[in-house]
């Protein structure tokens, strides 16, 4: 809980019957033990916790033994493609191509589920997120789009337990790893979960990113936020804050990415799952100039289980989803930057932690023996994260106009991506 291994999935809070709570959600956002935990509960919490231990190979054999294809980067899969929701409203309101929301709405309308666990923005505190069980298409759509601040979907386990009906569940890799661990031991809290979906996951940010964003525009009080979006408008969308005063602040998503190195949740750096490998279907952005130029919203879609693939098949044949198959190799090249960050960088960073005598996660697999240049690159990346995460660096960046720093960040990132192109793609497909 106190190390960087905690990804804030929320399972310990959800399962603890009020004994563990999240404190300071706009600060460090840690689970805190409020009253004594007996051994029996402690054992369940430890088993449910994905932070220290999640054996990829073991859980693959539990949930994906029938899945025909596998790559260490993409995880197990039936098929991979690029697509989008055919319903224009869903596509526009969503983060990328709207496939996750479209699938949830389709399952609900076909009565395959009675509700969907999604991450909404809070009504009471609209600057924070809140997991809910959506039982209408309107609620699913209202909870669409990616939220890039720390969120704890599994806090909602008590409501999932008592829900009367079948549920689809949407979560980030760490949250899903915990759900899979609970399913593997047949825990009653997850018995209603019939389908598991989730977005790709690069990183998430502390709430300080929102405060910092506000400060660059001369606003000091996040409680004045009326509505907060991270991917508002046409793909790839905008970070947008609507204040109670009526003021609207908006910055292109690619420019708002400048917040990442200043406010990244350290656990993101030790997570080795980009493509949300333990879902039935996962979806990411289709990052490629050919799609980015067109706007509108395109997703990469990966079906991973027989039931996930059947959903895809039926939705495509009914005209609810557009889907163009791509090869494993094409999908890896499209996300080479992300796979490099997660499947190489994370293992190197874990190794660095180990050398420093700090606790490290055990994923049941290790990828190693990268080129020397990749280790050097990681020293630069990790040093930047440490340097830019300091109070001084954050203070300095808030003095610059966000459009300037955002534009600068985007350009630097593109130069960096090009100059490290060869290192990142080396042996990527093997």
Ligand X SMILES: Cc1cc2nc3c(=O)[nH]c(=O)nc-3n(C[C@H](O)[C@H](O)[C@H](O)COP(=O)(O)OP(=O)(O)OC[C@H]3O[C@@H](n4cnc5c(N)ncnc54)[C@H](O)[C@@H]3O)c2cc1C
Given the rule CB under 6 A, which residues bind ligand X?
94-101, 118-119, 143-148, 151, 153, 170-172, 199-202, 204, 283-285, 299, 338
Shortest reach from residue 43's CB to ligand X, in Å: 26
Shortest reach from residue 410's CB to ligand X, in Å: 15
Which is closer to ligand X, CB of 120 or CB of 314? 120
Nearest residue by C-beta to ligand X? 202
Shortest reach from residue 314's CB to ligand X, in Å: 17
Q: What is the 3-state secondary structure (H, E, C) of the chain?
A: CCCCCCCCCCHHHHHCCCCEEEECCCCCCEEEECCCCCHHHHHHHHHHCCCCECCHHHHHHHHCCCCCEEECCCEEECEEEEEEECCHHHHHHCCCCCHHHHHHHHHHHCCCCCEEEEEEECCCCCCCEEEEEECCHHHHHHCCCCCCECCCHHHHHHHHHHCCCCEEEECCHHHHHHHHHHHHCCCHHHCCEEEEEEECCCCCECCHHHHHHHHHCCCCCHHHEEEEEEEECCCCCEEEEEECCCCEEEEEHHHHHHHHHHHECHHHHHCCCCCCCCCCEEEEECCCHHHHCCCCCCEEEEECCHHHHHHHHHHHHCCCEEEEECCHHHHHHHCHHHHHHHHHHHHHHHHHHHHCCCCCCECCCCCCCCCHHHHHHHHHHHHHHHHHCCHHHHHHHCCCCHHHHHHHHHHHHHHHHHHCHHHHHCCCCC
Shortest reach from residue 146's CB to ligand X, in Å: 4
Shortest reach from residue 299's CB to ligand X, in Å: 5
Retrieve residue 23's tokens. Answer: 């404190």
Measure the CA–CA gap between 5 and 49, rounded to whole angstroms: 10
Which is closer to ligand X, CB of 45 or CB of 149? 149
Which is closer to ligand X, CB of 219 or CB of 328? 328
Shortest reach from residue 346's CB to ligand X, in Å: 13
Which is closer to ligand X, CB of 61 or CB of 96? 96
Which is closer to ligand X, CB of 81 or CB of 98? 98
Which is closer to ligand X, CB of 37 or CB of 194? 194
Shortest reach from residue 140's CB to ligand X, in Å: 7
Which is closer to ligand X, CB of 200 or CB of 213? 200
What number of other Cβ atoms are within 10 A of residue 5's Cβ? Answer: 21
Which is closer to ligand X, CB of 95 or CB of 210? 95
Measure the CA–CA gap between 410 and 430, rounded to whole angstroms: 30
Which is closer to ligand X, CB of 143 or CB of 320? 143
Q: What distance lies between CA 418 and its chain's CA centroid?
A: 25
Shortest reach from residue 120's CB to ligand X, in Å: 7
What number of other Cβ atoms are within 10 A of residue 289's Cβ? Answer: 7
Which is closer to ligand X, CB of 59 or CB of 291? 291
Shortest reach from residue 246's CB to ligand X, in Å: 27
Shortest reach from residue 336's CB to ligand X, in Å: 12
């Amino acid at each position: 809980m106190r190390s960087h291994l905690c990804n804030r999935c929320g399972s310990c809070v959800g399962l603890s019957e009020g004994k563990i709570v999240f404190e300071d959600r706009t600060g460090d956002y840690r689970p805190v033990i409020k009253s004594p935990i007996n051994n029996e509960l402690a054992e369940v919490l430890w088993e449910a916790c994905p932070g220290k231990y999640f054996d990829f190979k073991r859980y693959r054999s539990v949930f994906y033994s029938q899945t025909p294809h596998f790559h260490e980067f993409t995880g197990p899969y039936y098929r991979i493609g690029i697509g989008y929701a055919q319903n224009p409203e869903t596509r526009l309101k969503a983060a990328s191509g709207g496939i996750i929301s479209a699938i949830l709405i389709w399952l609900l309308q076909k009565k395959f589920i009675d509700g969907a666990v999604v991450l909404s923005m809070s009504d009471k505190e609209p600057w924070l997120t809140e997991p809910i069980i959506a039982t209408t298409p309107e609620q699913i759509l209202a909870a669409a789009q990616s939220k890039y601040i720390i969120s704890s979907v599994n806090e909602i386990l008590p409501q999932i337990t008592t829900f009367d009906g079948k549920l689809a569940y949407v979560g980030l890799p760490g949250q899903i790893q915990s759900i899979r661990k609970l399913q593997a031991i047949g825990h009653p809290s997850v018995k209603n979960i019939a389908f598991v979906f989730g977005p790709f996951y690069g990183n998430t940010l502390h709430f300080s990113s929102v405060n910092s964003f506000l400060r660059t525009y001369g606003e000091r009080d996040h409680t004045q936020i009326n509505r907060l979006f991270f991917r508002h408008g046409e793909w790839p969308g905008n970070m947008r804050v609507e204040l109670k005063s009526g003021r609207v602040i908006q910055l292109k998503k690619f420019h708002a990415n400048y917040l990442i190195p200043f406010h990244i949740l350290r656990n993101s750096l030790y997570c080795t799952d980009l493509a949300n490998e333990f879902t039935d279907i996962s979806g990411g952005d289709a990052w490629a100039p050919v799609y980015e130029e067109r706007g509108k919203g395109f997703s990469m879609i990966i079906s991973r289980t027989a039931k996930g693939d059947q959903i895809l098949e039926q939705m495509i044949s009914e005209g609810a989803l557009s889907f163009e198959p791509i090869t494993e190799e094409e999908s890896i090249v499209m996300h080479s930057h992300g796979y490099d960050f997660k499947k190489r960088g994370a293992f190197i960073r874990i190794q660095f932690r180990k050398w420093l005598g700090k606790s490290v996660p055990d994923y049941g697999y290790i990828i190693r023996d990268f080129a020397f240049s990749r280790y050097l690159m990681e020293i630069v990346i990790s040093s930047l994260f440490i340097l830019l995460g300091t109070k001084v660096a954050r203070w300095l960046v808030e003095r610059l106009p966000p459009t300037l720093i955002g534009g600068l960040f985007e350009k630097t990132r593109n130069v960096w991506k090009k100059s490290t192109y060869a290192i990142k793609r080396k042996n990527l497909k093997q």
